[in-house]
Structure 1
Amino acid sequence: MRIFDPHIHMTSRTTDDYEAMYAAGVRAVVEPSFWLGQPRTSPTTFLDYFDSLLGWEPFRAAQYGIAHHCTLALNPKEANDPRCLPVLDELPRYLVKDQVVAVGEIGYDSMTPAEDAALAAQLQLAAEHELPALVHTPHRDKLAGLRRTVDVVRESALSPDRVLLDHLNETTVKEAKDSGCWLGFSVYPDTKMDEERMVAILRAHGPERVLVNSAADWGRSDPLKTRKVADLMLAEGFTEDDVDRVLWRNPVAFYGLSGRLNLRVDTTDTTHEGNSILRGGE
């Protein structure tokens, strides 16, 4: 079984997670830039973070046989902080990097005017750089948030078939599917979706344009949730081809829209800028 986790924050995870993910069949990941749990205080902290997603983290993933790409953006939560807005001016020079396969996470947190402006601006950047967009739908008031998101997408220069609407659930899946966008579902231990609900959605709505992710980060989360969904799909009568479609071919197709997706893993480099992942014995 081959698995592509299309949304996981590996900067927040350990090398043990990489080992376990590889053993479970994960061979590729996309790491969206996101909020780090506390406010950033200047745009330069974003740039250091972006650099790590383009350098250190792909190196770290490669040591465990996993291809790593990223999406970059000003995230919705910090779009409300005026100190962070200059990041929008810096993004164009990062969006040309080969490891960047989409603009994201963009979208809504609290559905403020500042978030409206940041979403529209970054959809425009995606269109200008011929990249797809990964859109975070809000965790609160989800249906209203989805509708507002779809309205902004329709007003943008980016075609809906180049947009992935993430963090969907039972209340939003139908309208998201009708929008023509790709459909993303985050499977968590306690919140968002679980394996059983995810499989029920697949049975009701089919596997077309569906991506399943763990969204594992610094909070309570599980980087093996993609494998657990795959196992339950098989147990519930889905075919191996269905599993491969949802857990591999669909994310490859979506991020492949960037023209930059490279699933070959180069493990020849044992250090990155003089640093290794070893401790004590290097």
Structure 2
Amino acid sequence: MQYFDPHIHMLSRTTDDYQNMAAAGIVGVIEPAFWLGQPRTQLGSFVDYFDTLIGWEHFRASQFGIMHFCTMGLNPKEANDVELAEGVMKLLPRYCQKDNVVGVGEIGYDDMTPEEDRFLSEQLELAKSLNLPVLIHTPHRDKVNGTKRTLDVIKESGINEEMVLVDHLNEQTLPLVLETGCWRGHSIYPNTKMSEPRMVALLQQYGLDKMIVNSAADWGISDPLKVPKTAQAMLESGFSEAEVELVTFKNPINFFAQSGRISLDMVRKTAIDQTKTFNDNRVTRGQEPVVEQDPNK
């Protein structure tokens, strides 16, 4: 089977991760704009980061047979530095029009401050103006109230809820999103957030419509293979291969296909050619390059 991880921060991961992901059947990923683990202090660091997402990281994924897309946005943890956030908002329209950018995100709440309110609303307006899907980050603390507040802001914005994916859901917050037209995202994590058995139980209880799983793997303790591991757990619990494919491949791609820049027909394993370079740099670092025949010919 083939899989698609619609929320993973590959800039934080190693080439070993790409190799293991490809071997497990992951053929495509979406990398949402994220924070670095410490606050950025200058606008130029956002420019370099956004350039990396649409440039080097897009190339690096291709060197392991994985298609790489991304979403652009101001992370809620960085929305509270107002001067810097205002600068980022001026950058975003240009980056959101790049070919491999399939949405605005991840945006939402961290501490639920007035500043976070402001920049969440502004980015929803940006998504509306560009007709792009939105990836919403729900807060790790006070998650139920944070999700309720997020859904209120989405409704007030007037954005089509079909264009919104609310992520990091769990047993308490999924029912809230089920009352809306939004898509439902779940991050499968070691020790925290959702586990494979808990995710399977939610799928059994609530069905597969608009249900999406991801690894949200980043620089912390996380696992970039959680999508195929969830797929295996689904199979072992009695779901069919077609049902597994819906949740772990078709649903996420169909959501982001609303951008017009990705589709089910487009996403597939690509041929590896590690003789290629990006700004004269190779992933092989002097090692013997891998070159494959195109599997689609």
TM-score calculated relative to the size of structure 2: 0.93
CA-CA distance at 1:83 after TM superposition: 4.2
Contact preservation (8 Å) 2:106, 2:136? yes
Equivalent residue, structure 2, for 1:273: 279
Name whichever of 98-107 and 265-274 sits farther off: 265-274
**Does the CA contact (< 8 Å) of 2:132 and 2:258 recur in 1?**
yes
Aligned pairs, number: 282
User: Counterpart amino acid of 2:211?
Assistant: V
Distance 1:19 1:83 in 2: 40
Residue 238 of structure 1 aligns with which residue? Answer: 239
1:171-182 to 2 correspondence within 5 Å? 171-182=172-183
CA drift of 1:273 comes to 1.3
2:267 matched to which residue of 1? 263
More displaced stretch, 271-280 vs 257-266? 257-266
| Map of 1:71 onto structure 2 | 71
Q: Is the 8 A contact 2:82 2:115 kept in 1?
A: no
1:159 corresponds in structure 2 to: 160
Structure 2 residue aligned with 1:26: 26
**CA–CA distance in structure 2, aligned partners of residues 94 and 197 of structure 1:** 36
Alignment of 1:110-189 (within 5 A): 110-189=111-190
Secondary structure of the 2:105 match is strand
C-alpha RMSD of the superposition: 1.2
1:42 maps to what in 2? 42
Give TM-score, length-normalised by structure 1: 0.97
Alignment partner, residue 294 of structure 2: none
Secondary structure of the equivalent of 1:263?
Answer: coil
Q: Identity over the aligned pairs, expressed in percent?
A: 56
1:253 aligns with 2:259: no
Deviation by residue 1:114-139 (Cα, 9 ceiling, x = unmatched): 00000000000001111000000011
Kindly indicate whether the alpha-carbon contact (under 8 Å) linking 1:187 and 1:193 is maintained by their aligned counterparts in 2.
yes
Contact 1:42 1:83 (C-alpha < 8 Å) held by counterparts: no
| Aligned residue number for residue 96 of structure 2 | 95
CA distance in 1, matches of 2:282, 2:158: 42
Please name the residue that 1:108 is paired with: 109
Structure 1 contact 41–83 (Cα < 8 Å) conserved: no
Cα deviation for residue 150 of structure 1 reads 0.6
Q: CA deviation at 1:229?
A: 0.5
Distance apart, 1:263 and its partner CA: 2.3
TM-fit CA distance, 1:155: 1.1
Corresponding residue SS for 1:80: coil
- Contact 1:102 / 1:134 at 8 angstroms: preserved in 2? yes
CA shift, 1:266, in A, is 6.6
Q: Which amino acid aligns with 1:74?
A: L
Aligned equivalents of 1:201, 1:36: Cα separation in 2 = 31
The CA distance in 2 between the partners of 1:163 and 1:134, in whole Å, is 6
3-state SS of 1:257 partner: helix
**Is the 1:43–1:83 Cα contact (8 Å) retained in structure 2?**
no
CA deviation map 1:210-262 (0-9, x unaligned): 11000000000000111110001000001111100000000110010100014
- Taking the aligned partners of 1:53 and 1:236, their CA distance within structure 2 comes to 37
* Contact 1:102–1:132 under 8 Å retained in 2: yes
